[in-house]
A and B are shown apart, each in its own frame.
Chain A
Amino acid sequence: MISRRSNSKVSEKLVIYRVRVEGSDSFQCAKDDKTLLKHIEDHGIEVHYHCREGYCGACRTKLIQGEVEYITDPLAFIDDDEILPCCCKPTSDIHIKLY
């Protein structure tokens, strides 16, 4: 039988990271399912994207400080100090610069 579990368990482990986007306001984002790209968009910051799956590289972004983890393996070319927001999530407070 399928039953719904209460959501309280989820909110207990809520983790919040601070995202600082060069040239825009900083915002806070909860550690959840959403990609970094989605968080940036949700805060009304214009960001370039195409595929949203890590293979086109349109959302290539400079990571100035902090760390991210990838949900899908990025196929597009990125430099050592760059990330693909469409397929990663922050794992610490981060400071980024959109191109």
Chain B
Amino acid sequence: MKYTTFNQESNDTMTEPMFFGNPVNVARYDQQKHPIFEKLIEKQISFFWRPEEVDVSKDRMDFQKLSDAERHIFISNLKYQTLLDSIQGRSPNIAFLPIISIPELETWVETWSFFETIHSRSYTHILRNLFSNPSEIFDDIVVNEEIKKRASDISKYYDDLIFATQLWQTQGEGEHVVDGVTHSINMRQLKKLLYLCMNSVNALEAIRFYVSFACTFAFAERELMEGNSKIIRLIARDENIHLTSTQHVLNLWAKGKDDPEMAEIAAECHEEAKAIFMKAVEQEKEWAKYLFNSGSMLGLNEEILCQYVEYIANHRMAAIGMGQPFDIKSNPLPWMNNYLSSDNVQVAPQETEISSYLVGQIDSEVASDDFEAFEL
């Protein structure tokens, strides 16, 4: 079906599936099939931040004091995160927008991608401060074998879906020959590609960031690189909400609350989807190994990082009906929670440098009966 930017046929978005129905025409939010996406948009927008708000100038001095092994850990993580957000800043738009059929989900995907571009800009902000010429770091991202391995695994699912969608939208269903290769395009296959792609994105948002988050916050625990940690906390807060959105999409499908055919596909591809997640877990563990190949850093080592990945994976996989495949029951890095709590991520001018300013000092929760003891 040919894509149109404004579908002139009137259609009832309340009866459309999330994907592969009629293209959205009017961006209206007065009636919503899945109101959760509108709520996520509101929440995400309330989190708006700019990298420039965070002063990272003290990090430059801290960076000089780090050992070579620690610098390797710090810079490699930034490279990996730059890769992840480069992909996420464009791919949900390109892959999902042409096939979305309800306005609230369309706007959610645009909002989501926009925030990923803020993350990308923040990496430049951090690196510009550390190096007079950061281009060496960025250039290495497309050369570094460890990063390339992960890149191809993440982008593959997006690319397959995008290519099949393009063929379907230009040529329709059937057999099509492109550069001598025959591609069979049918709706069932397209939906299967979408399902696998959504699982790959979910795994990305769920665990792919967490090894580097742990390293960043381990530096912050030693009161090092605190400007960077402040930025990463803001990023982690956004990624949490992105993860919530992919979990909602997957669960809406699996529980038959959207397209019934997607419920069938979810059951049919359950093992394949689980394998995508398990591979992401493996790759994160390999990443931890790569980080520590030239030496450890205080407070963290490969083993404990791998345990943390398993611990997080258990929770994330259970949330989408994949069970808890790992034995670990207790959080090996309990201090991580302090950095991931949204009470601790406000940006105020007086605490832009030192992120520990707020930890344990201010309780921003105000309940209505806090004023009960006062009388006018």
Give residues in A with beta carbon < 8 Å to B.
Answer: 1-5, 7, 10, 33, 46, 48-53, 55-58, 60, 73, 75-77, 99
Query: Which residues of the partner chain A approach B130 to less than 8 Å between Cβ atoms?
Result: none
Which residue of A4, A48, A51, A60 is within 8 Å of B240 (Cβ)?
A51
Q: Chain B's interface: helix, strand, loop or mixed, by majority?
A: helix
Query: Which residues of the partner chain B approach A99 to less than 8 Å between Cβ atoms?
Result: 314-315, 318, 324
The 10 closest A-B pairs by CB, nearest first: A56-B240, A50-B340, A33-B367, A77-B247, A51-B342, A76-B244, A52-B341, A53-B342, A77-B248, A77-B251
Please tell me if B188 contacts chain A, counting CB pairs below 8 Å: no
The answer to whether B375 and A5 touch across the interface, beta carbons within 8 angstroms, is yes
Query: Which residues of the partner chain A approach B365 to less than 8 Å between Cβ atoms?
Result: 33
Which residue of B36, B39, B369, B373 is within 8 Å of A4 (Cβ)?
B373
Return the chain A residue nearest B255 by Cβ. Answer: A79
Which residue of A10, A33, A57 is within 8 Å of B244 (Cβ)?
A57
Query: For the side of the interface on B, what is the size category?
Result: 20 to 34
The answer to whether B375 and A57 touch across the interface, beta carbons within 8 angstroms, is no
Give residues in B with beta carbon < 8 Å to A.
Answer: 36, 39-40, 43, 237, 240-241, 243-244, 247-248, 251, 314-315, 318-319, 324, 330-331, 334, 337, 340-343, 365, 367, 369-370, 372-376
Query: Which residues of the partner chain B approach A48 to less than 8 Å between Cβ atoms?
Result: 315, 331, 337
Which residue of B334, B369, B375, B376 is within 8 Å of A33 (Cβ)?
B369
Return the chain A residue nearest B321 by Cβ. Answer: A79
Asked, given contacts A46-B331, A50-B341, A75-B43, whether A55 binds B373 with beta carbons under 8 Å apart, the answer is no
CA distance A58 to B334 in the complex (A): 13
Query: Which residues of the partner chain A approach B375 to less than 8 Å between Cβ atoms?
Result: 2-5
The answer to whether B342 and A52 touch across the interface, beta carbons within 8 angstroms, is yes
CA distance A1 to B376 in the complex (A): 5
CA distance A76 to B245 in the complex (A): 8
The answer to whether A57 and B369 touch across the interface, beta carbons within 8 angstroms, is no
Query: Which residues of the partner chain B approach A7 to less than 8 Å between Cβ atoms?
Result: 373
Return the chain A residue nearest B251 by Cβ. Answer: A77
The answer to whether A49 and B337 touch across the interface, beta carbons within 8 angstroms, is yes
Closest Cβ–Cβ distance, residue A52 to chain B (whole Å): 5
A–B pairs, 25, beta carbons within 8 Å: A2-B374, A4-B373, A5-B372, A5-B373, A5-B374, A5-B375, A33-B365, A33-B370, A48-B331, A49-B341, A50-B240, A50-B341, A51-B237, A52-B341, A52-B343, A53-B343, A55-B241, A55-B342, A56-B240, A56-B244, A57-B319, A75-B43, A76-B247, A77-B247, A99-B324
The answer to whether A50 and B244 touch across the interface, beta carbons within 8 angstroms, is no
Closest Cβ–Cβ distance, residue B323 to chain A (whole Å): 11
Asked, given contacts A33-B367, A48-B315, A57-B319, whether A77 binds B244 with beta carbons under 8 Å apart, the answer is yes
